[in-house]
Amino acid sequence: MKRQMDGKVSLLDQATDKFSRWQSLALSVLACAGTTLIATPLLNYLDLANIVMLFLLTVFLVAVSLGRQAAILASVLSVVLFDIFFVPPRFSLAVNDIQYLVTFAVMLATGLITAHLAAGLRQQARESRYRAQRTHALYQVAHQLAGALTVTQVVAMTHKFITNELKTKSAILLPNENEQLLAASLESKAMTVDLTFARAAFEKGERVYNKELGNMGYAPLYLPLRASMRIRGVLAVQFAKQSQETTDDLVSLLEALSSLCGVALERLHYVEVAQATEVKMLTERLRSSILSALSHDLRTPLTAMVGLADSLALIKPPLNPMALEIAQALQEQATRLSSMVSNLLDMARLNAGKVVLRREWQPLEEVVGASIKLLGTTLDQHKIKVSLPRDLPLLNFDAVLIERVLCNLLENASKYAPPNTDIILTAHVQAREVQISIADEGKGFPDENRENLFNMFVRGESETEHAGTGLGLAICKAIIESHDGRILADNQASGGACVSFTLPLGSPPIIEQEAP
């Protein structure tokens, strides 16, 4: 406690005192000597009691203007001078009348008490002046921090405040993306920071003080830069002098500063987030408008090609069979090209990761039926056997996208399985999901490379006679994963291929029963 008091005084004295310690002691001696000189000619007119008053006045004035130590010196000196120059026998320390000892004692006690009280007042005045100054400085730094535009500015402003107001060294540590604390700037190279203590302050959100660390040349005090959402970093402080320790005042000042700094850093963080979001939104809008323009521009000529090839068959007089066959082939190729373009555009859209799912609770049966209907003649050469459990609950999915998955899988199966075989679609409920499987009686998937089947542009057989871009399964995977499901390709024991995917069960909405 004593040390702290001393520290405080020394800190304050630095800022406010006009005189050094020796100067004030000398002035105190001069004041007492002056009083003696003035009082000596008055001895004939005044009582000794009144002379004592003059000395007490001097002690009081010294206490108010020069501080405690000067006042104590003045008290002692006043008693001595009063004794020597005024109390008979004069010019000696001896005393004739014993009662003067009481005068001396009272005089000394009054002097010392006055010195103490006056010095206390003086110190309080200085402290409140100092507080006002500090508040003003904090206000100014708060004002500056509110206008800071970059992290570097915030750090520089904080350092400047600490250097100017506290004359100490400091460092600010900020976390990187991996939450590792890194020194944003070391104000001075002579300053060393202990990362373990900084980390502790950062994680616990409390200040850490270790005096031993200071003795070893490290910064002893670590303050978290606290803001409303989280801790934004750590302020490390190394005091210039050993005497300048962590007084309550100093710590609360530093805490105020670090919270100002934290708030400024948080504000900058959110400005950054807002800007990033805006850029992302603009990019997204651009991407989707390019995609839809592309899809319109590509589809228009494809539609014309398919239709024109078709209408060759309507020409009168009819074309010869050879030409009609070519027209048919043209139509088929254009249709295929169109489905490839659709695949590419869908993949681009899904890859952008921003397909908004229009999820609705619905029976699986419906989308299965719609997929089979949509494929139409493609499945003519196979028998599709659908077996779904009667009590299958409603599932929450985007019907258009899941229809896409089912179409791709059924089309694949019909492409690779020999004609007049069965394609079997089954579903069963597992723990928290429904697994849907499509199995065929073809050759199955090749053993190697099965993991890669779901990657873009990978095909089961590289030298295949079947047309395709290798995007079908990749699209399925992207769609299923956006529904929080899994998809995997396997071969059945009987040899045919089997692709299964899962959809989460969730809790379907309740359908109110109507009165029959």
Partner 1 sequence: MSKTVANVLIIEDEKQIRRFVRAALEEENCQVTEAQTIAQGLIEAGQSKPDLIILDLGLPDGDGLALIRDLRSWSDVPVLILSARTQEIEKIAALDAGADDYLSKPFNVGELRARVRAMLRRRARTGEQASPLVEFGAISVDLSRRLVTRQSQPVHLTPLEYRLLSALLSQPGKVLTQRSLLHNIWGPTYIDSSHYLRVYVGHLRQKLEDDPAQPKHFLTETGVGYRFQL
Please say whether the dihedral angle defined by the alpha carbons of residues 320, 324, 327 and 329, taken in this order, is positive or negative.
Answer: negative
Contacts of 166 (CB under 8 A, 6+ apart): 250, 253, 254
Q: Which C-beta is closer to partner 1: that of 342 or that of 435?
A: 342
Q: Which C-beta is closer to partner 1: that of 4 or that of 339?
A: 339
Burial of 232 (0-12, 13-18, 19+ CB in 10 A): buried
**Tokens 């200071």 found at:** 214
Q: Least CB distance from residue 310 to partner 1, whole Å?
A: 4
Three-state secondary-structure class, residue 449: coil
Q: Least CB distance from residue 325 to partner 1, whole Å?
A: 16
Q: Least CB distance from residue 475 to partner 1, whole Å?
A: 13
Q: Facing residues of 192 across strands?
A: 218
Q: Which C-beta is closer to partner 1: that of 219 or that of 306?
A: 306
Three-state secondary-structure class, residue 360: strand
Q: Which C-beta is closer to partner 1: that of 299 or that of 415?
A: 299
Does a cis peptide bond (omega within 30 degrees of 0) precede residue 446?
Answer: no
**Is residue 220 within 8 Å of residue 239, measured between CB atoms?**
yes
Q: Least CB distance from residue 410 to partner 1, whole Å?
A: 12
Contacts of 107 (CB under 8 A, 6+ apart): 52, 55, 56, 75, 78, 79, 82
Instruction: From 468, 450, 481, select the one nearest 343 (Cα to Cα).
Output: 468
Q: Which C-beta is closer to partner 1: that of 170 or that of 371?
A: 371
Q: Which C-beta is closer to partner 1: that of 56 or that of 436?
A: 436
Phi then psi for 513, rounded to 5 degrees?
-75, 135
Q: Least CB distance from residue 434 to partner 1, whole Å?
A: 15
Three-state secondary-structure class, residue 422: strand
Q: Least CB distance from residue 345 to partner 1, whole Å?
A: 8
Q: Which C-beta is closer to partner 1: that of 82 or that of 397?
A: 397
Q: Least CB distance from residue 482 to partner 1, whole Å?
A: 16
Report the C-alpha gap between 37 and 31 in whole angstroms.
Answer: 10
Q: Which C-beta is closer to partner 1: that of 53 or that of 294?
A: 294
Element (H, E) at 221: strand 221-226
Q: Least CB distance from residue 307 to partner 1, whole Å?
A: 4
Q: Which C-beta is closer to partner 1: that of 206 or that of 365?
A: 365
- For residue 160, the tally of other CB atoms under 10 A from its CB is 13
Q: Least CB distance from residue 484 to partner 1, whole Å?
A: 19
Report the C-alpha gap between 99 and 207 in whole angstroms.
Answer: 60
Q: Least CB distance from residue 176 to partner 1, whole Å?
A: 42
- What one-letter code names the amino acid at 430? Q
Q: Facing residues of 437 across strands?
A: 426, 500
Q: Least CB distance from residue 289 to partner 1, whole Å?
A: 14
**Is residue 382 within 8 Å of residue 414, measured between CB atoms?**
yes
Report the C-alpha gap between 55 and 263 in whole angstroms.
Answer: 57
Longest dimension (CA), the chain: 158
Q: Which C-beta is closer to partner 1: that of 19 or that of 361?
A: 361
Q: Which positions touch partner 1 (CB under 8 A)?
A: 295-296, 299-308, 310-311, 313-314, 331, 334-335, 338, 342, 345-346, 358, 360-363, 365-370, 372-374, 384, 386, 388, 394, 399-400, 403, 508-509, 511, 514, 516
**Is residue 360 within 8 Å of residue 472, measured between CB atoms?**
no
Q: Which C-beta is closer to partner 1: that of 342 or that of 469?
A: 342
* Dihedral angle over CA of 275, 277, 282, 284, nearest 10: 160
